[in-house]
C-alpha cells in the first residue's frame, strides 16, 4: 500500500499537490464488479417490491419516510416531557404514529434522549417502535440507527456492549482482519438489539492535525490505508447483519472548524479531492456500502455557490450519485448542526437537502415545520413527485434488502446473550492489544520491571486516572496512587503532582488533547515537563491523539492508545509491564508545534521492546 508523506508543512503541501494516489487501485479493484454481479438479481426483485409498496402510499406517508427522528425515553410507551415539547405527543410510540418516519436514531443521556441502558431494554424499545410503525399508515418498518463508531469519541452504547477500538487505533494495527472483525462484533450486537443501521465507518482522511471533529475517528492520513480499511469495515458490518454508512461525504478530514458549531470550508482542488478525500468513498461504494452520509462543509472546487455539501446538487447528485455511481441511500448529517442551521432555517434545510439529492433527512429541527415545508414544496412543484418517489423508492429498497419486512422484531433473550458476550469481550481485548503504539522509549524506560514498586498515576482525567491506577495496583507487587490533575492543571496542581512523584518510583501521566488547544494543551505540557525535571522515570500515555507528544518531546517514554476506553487502558497496563509488545504504527505523522521544525514522527513510526 502506498504511504503518503506526513501531513504537515511542506510535506502536507505535497499531499495536497497529489502525492499518495498510486496504489489505490489495489484497494479499490477487487470488490466492485463481482459484488455488482451478485447483487443484480436481488436488486431487481427489491425494486419491484418497493414499487408495489410505493403505489399504495399517500403523499404524507411518503414524506414521513424521508425523516429520521430522535425519541426520548427507554421504552416505546414511556411518557417523556421532551417528546411533548418537540412533537406534541408524550411517548416514542406516539411520535412514530404521528409522523410515520422512515427511521429513528438512538442516543444516550449525554444528548438527552436517554434511549440506551442494556441489551434487553434496547431490544424492547426497538420492538416497541417497530410495532408502532407497523400499526400505522402504510405499515412500513423503521430504520433504527445509531452512531456506534468504536473508540471513545463518537459512541452511544456503553457496557454491557463490547467496547471496540476506534478507527485510528485499528489503523495503527495495520490489520484489515481486525477492522473487519471489530465492525462485525459491533454490527452483530447492534442487530441483536434491533438496531439495523450504524452510521459508520468514518471515511474521512484526516490530514489536518488541528481537525477538531474528525481526528482519531479517521483511519489516518493516508488515502490508500483509509480506502482499504473503510472497505474492510463495510464488509464487517455486513457480516454482522447491520447496514453501514460511510461518512462524511465528500471528506471532512482537512478542516480546523467543527461543523457542529460552524461551517468549514475545504479548499482542496478537484485533483486533490480525487487523490485524498474521495478514495475511501470510492472503496466503500465498490464494497457495497448501504448508505453514505453527507457533510455540512463547503467545497468551492465542487460547487462555487458556497452552500454546504448537504445542500449541493452538484456534490450530492452530480458527484456522488452520477459520477461515483452510488445507488444506495444518501442521508444528511444532523440538520440541527451549526453547519446546516447557520444559513438554512428549519423550513428551508430539509427542502434544499432533498432537492440536492439526499434521500433521508436526519434530525431536522422543528418536526412540524420541516414536514409542512416538504409537503408544500411537493404540492407546489418545487420538488417534483418524481424526485420524492425516487428517494422513497430507495428507502423502501434499502429496507427490503436488509430484511426488515419479514424480520422487524428481535429476540430480547438473545440480545442479552449476544451483547457483551465473553467471546466478543475476549476478542476485543486481543484486537485492542495490537493497537497500542510506542513512540519513544529512551534508555529502555519500558517495559517496567515487575519488581515491587510504587507508581504514581496522574494527569487527565479523574475516571481514567483511577481506572489505570486500579489496574496497575492489581498486579503482584505493584501499588499505585491516583492523582488526577484535569485537562488544564494550574501551578498548584502541577506542584502537587511533582511532590507526589518524588514519593514514587515511577510516574505514568495521561494526556488528552495536549497539542490541540493552546491553553489546555500548554498546561498539560507543563505538567509532563515538570514531572520529567523532577528526575524520576516518567511514562506519558496519550489517550486520544498521537500529536500530544509535540508538547513534551523530551519525555523518556510515550505510548499512544487513540482511546481512553477501559479496554485501551487495560492494554496500556499490559504494555507498560511487557505482557504485550506494542506493535502499533502511526497512521498519521506527528508534526512539531513549530512548523519550521518539521515532523517529529513520520507516518508508520512505531517502536518495539
Catalytic residues: 260, 333
Q: Check residue 403 and give left, alpha or beta (phi > 0: left; psi -120 to 50: alpha).
A: left
Yes or no: say if 533 and 136 are a contact pair by the CB < 8 Å rule: no
Cα Rg of the chain (Å, integer):
24
Q: Check residue 145 and give left, alpha or beta (phi > 0: left; psi -120 to 50: alpha).
A: beta
| Sign of torsion over alpha carbons 252, 257, 258, 259 | negative
Question: Read out DSSP for 167-209?
Answer: HHHHHHHT-HHHHHHHHHHHHHHHHHTT--EE---B------T
Question: Grid coordinates in use for 60?
Answer: 404524507
How many other C-beta atoms are found inside a 10 Å radius of the C-beta of residue 43? 15
| C-alpha span between 168 and 226 (Å, rounded) | 10
| C-alpha span between 26 and 189 (Å, rounded) | 31
Residue with cell 438512538: 106
HEC string for 363-398: CCCCHHHHHHHHHHHHHHCCCCHHHHHHHHHHHHHH
Residue with cell 413527485: 385
Residue 262 burial (C-beta neighbours within 10 Å; 0-12, 13-18, 19+): middle
Backbone angles phi, psi at 163, to 5 degrees: -95, 120
Residue with cell 490489520: 175
| Sign of torsion over alpha carbons 596, 597, 600, 601 | positive
Three-state SS at 144? strand
Classify strands 197-198 and 143-146 as parallel, antiparallel or unpaired: parallel
Yes or no: say if 359 and 67 are a contact pair by the CB < 8 Å rule: no
> CA distances (Å), 608 to each of 169, 193, 447, in order?
17, 40, 10
How many other C-beta atoms are found inside a 10 Å radius of the C-beta of residue 48? 11
Nearest partner of 222 among 596, 585, 606, judged by Cα: 585
> CA distances (Å), 237 to each of 188, 243, 382, in order?
8, 7, 37
Residue 349 burial (C-beta neighbours within 10 Å; 0-12, 13-18, 19+): buried
How many other C-beta atoms are found inside a 10 Å radius of the C-beta of residue 145? 25
Nearest partner of 136 among 52, 61, 51, judged by Cα: 61
Question: Grid coordinates in use for 262?
Answer: 460552524
Amino acid at each position: 500500500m502506498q504511504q503518503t508523506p506526513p501531513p504537515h508543512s511542506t510535506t502536507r503541501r505535497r499531499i495536497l499537490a497529489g502525492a499518495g494516489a498510486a496504489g489505490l487501485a489495489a484497494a479499490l479493484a477487487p470488490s466492485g464488479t463481482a459484488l455488482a454481479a451478485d447483487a443484480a438479481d436481488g436488486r431487481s426483485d427489491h425494486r419491484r417490491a418497493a414499487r408495489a409498496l410505493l403505489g399504495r402510499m399517500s403523499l404524507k406517508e411518503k414524506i414521513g419516510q424521508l425523516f429520521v427522528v430522535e425519541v426520548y425515553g427507554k421504552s416505546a410507551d414511556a411518557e417523556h416531557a421532551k417528546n411533548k415539547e418537540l412533537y406534541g405527543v408524550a411517548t416514542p410510540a406516539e411520535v412514530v404514529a404521528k409522523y410515520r418516519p422512515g427511521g429513528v436514531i438512538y442516543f444516550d443521556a449525554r444528548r438527552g434522549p436517554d434511549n440506551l441502558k442494556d441489551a434487553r431494554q434496547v431490544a424492547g424499545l426497538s420492538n416497541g417502535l417497530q410495532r408502532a410503525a407497523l400499526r400505522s399508515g402504510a405499515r412500513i418498518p423503521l430504520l433504527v440507527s445509531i452512531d456506534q463508531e468504536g473508540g471513545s469519541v463518537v459512541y452511544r452504547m456503553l457496557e454491557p456492549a463490547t467496547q471496540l477500538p476506534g478507527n485510528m487505533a485499528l489503523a495503527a494495527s495495520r490489520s484489515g482482519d481486525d477492522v473487519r472483525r471489530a465492525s462485525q462484533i459491533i454490527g452483530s450486537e447492534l442487530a441483536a438489539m434491533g438496531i439495523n443501521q450504524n452510521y459508520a465507518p468514518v471515511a474521512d482522511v484526516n490530514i489536518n492535525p488541528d481537525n477538531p471533529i474528525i481526528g482519531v475517528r479517521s483511519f489516518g492520513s493516508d488515502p490508500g490505508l483509509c480506502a482499504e480499511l473503510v472497505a474492510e469495515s463495510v464488509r464487517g458490518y455486513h457480516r454482522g447483519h447491520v447496514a453501514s454508512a460511510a461518512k462524511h461525504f465528500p471528506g471532512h478530514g482537512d478542516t480546523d472548524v467543527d461543523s457542529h458549531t460552524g461551517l468549514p470550508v475545504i479548499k482542496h482542488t478537484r485533483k486533490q479531492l480525487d487523490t485524498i478525500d474521495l478514495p475511501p468513498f470510492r472503496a466503500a461504494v465498490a464494497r457495497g456500502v448501504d448508505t453514505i452520509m453527507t457533510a455540512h462543509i463547503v467545497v468551492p472546487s465542487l460547487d462555487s455557490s458556497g452552500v454546504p455539501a448537504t445542500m449541493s446538487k452538484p456534490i450530492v447528485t452530480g458527484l456522488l450519485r452520477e459520477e461515483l455511481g452510488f445507488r444506495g441511500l444518501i442521508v444528511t448529517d444532523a440538520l440541527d448542526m451549526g453547519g446546516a442551521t447557520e444559513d438554512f432555517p428549519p423550513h428551508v434545510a430539509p427542502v434544499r437537502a432533498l432537492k440536492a439529492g439526499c434521500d433521508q433527512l436526519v434530525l431536522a429541527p422543528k418536526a412540524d415545520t420541516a414536514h409542512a415545508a416538504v409537503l408544500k414544496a411537493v404540492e407546489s412543484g418545487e420538488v417534483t413527485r418524481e424526485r420524492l418517489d425516487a428517494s422513497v423508492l430507495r428507502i423502501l429498497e434499502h429496507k427490503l434488502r436488509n430484511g426488515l419486512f419479514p424480520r422487524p422484531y428481535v429476540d430480547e433473550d438473545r440480545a442479552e446473550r449476544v451483547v457483551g458476550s465473553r467471546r466478543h469481550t475476549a476478542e476485543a481485548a486481543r484486537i485492542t492489544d495490537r493497537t497500542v503504539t510506542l513512540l519513544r522509549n529512551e534508555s529502555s524506560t519500558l517495559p517496567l520491571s515487575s519488581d515491587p514498586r510504587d507508581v504514581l498515576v496522574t494527569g487527565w482525567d479523574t475516571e481514567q486516572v483511577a481506572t489505570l491506577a486500579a489496574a496497575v495496583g492489581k498486579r503482584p507487587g505493584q501499588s499505585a496512587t491516583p492523582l488526577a490533575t484535569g485537562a488544564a492543571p494550574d501551578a498548584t496542581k502541577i506542584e502537587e503532582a511533582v511532590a507526589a512523584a518524588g514519593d514514587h518510583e515511577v510516574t505514568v501521566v495521561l494526556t488528552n488533547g495536549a497539542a490541540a488547544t493552546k491553553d489546555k494543551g500548554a498546561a498539560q505540557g507543563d505538567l509532563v515537563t515538570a514531572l520529567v525535571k523532577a528526575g524520576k522515570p516518567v511514562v506519558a500515555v496519550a489517550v486520544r491523539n498521537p500529536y500530544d507528544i509535540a508538547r513534551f518531546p523530551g519525555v523518556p517514554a510515550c505510548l499512544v492508545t487513540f482511546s481512553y476506553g477501559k479496554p485501551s487502558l487495560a492494554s496500556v497496563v499490559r504494555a507498560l509491564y511487557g505482557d504485550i509488545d506494542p506493535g502499533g504504527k502511526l497512521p498519521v505523522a506527528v508534526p512539531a508545534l513549530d512548523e519550521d521544525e518539521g515532523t517529529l514522527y513520520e507516518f508508520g513510526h512505531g517502536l518495539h521492546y
